[in-house]
Amino acid sequence: YACINPEIVSQSKETEEIEEGCLSLPNITGTSTRKKTITITYLNEYGKKMKTKARGLLSCIFQHELDHLNGVLFIDKAKNIRERISPLSPSI
């Protein structure tokens, strides 16, 4: 599955706050505000233009990943940023 050159073409006015993290910043979380519903256009892996309406978690994921493509990390928008201590972290 591929989304090449994705672009948000419409979004709901309604937002939701979610607890967000990122593999680029391990053990860091924060509260982000994201649109509840978005519609995106993109090219699939065969170059065919596609349109997808995403709601809820999928909408948040698309917005998070599109931010990456635009050089934005979730901590640039989040509030209540904190570090989580992993129970699997080795003791020193």
* Average confidence (pLDDT) over 59-87: 92
* Catalytic residue IDs: 65
pLDDT of residue 33: 97
Which domains does the chain possess?
A: 4-83 (3.90.45.10)
Predicted TM-score (pTM) of the model is 0.86
* Average confidence (pLDDT) over 54-71: 96
Q: Quick check: 39 and 51 in contact, CB under 8 A?
A: yes
For residue 79, list its beta bridge partners.
31
Give percent of the chain with pLDDT exceeding 70. Answer: 92
Distance CA 1, CA 13 (A): 28
| Angle formed at CA 41 by CA 5 and CA 36, multiple of 5 degrees | 110
Structure tokens at 82: 């904190």
* Average confidence (pLDDT) over 68-85: 92
Distance CA 86, CA 65 (A): 24
Q: What is the mean pLDDT of the chain?
A: 93
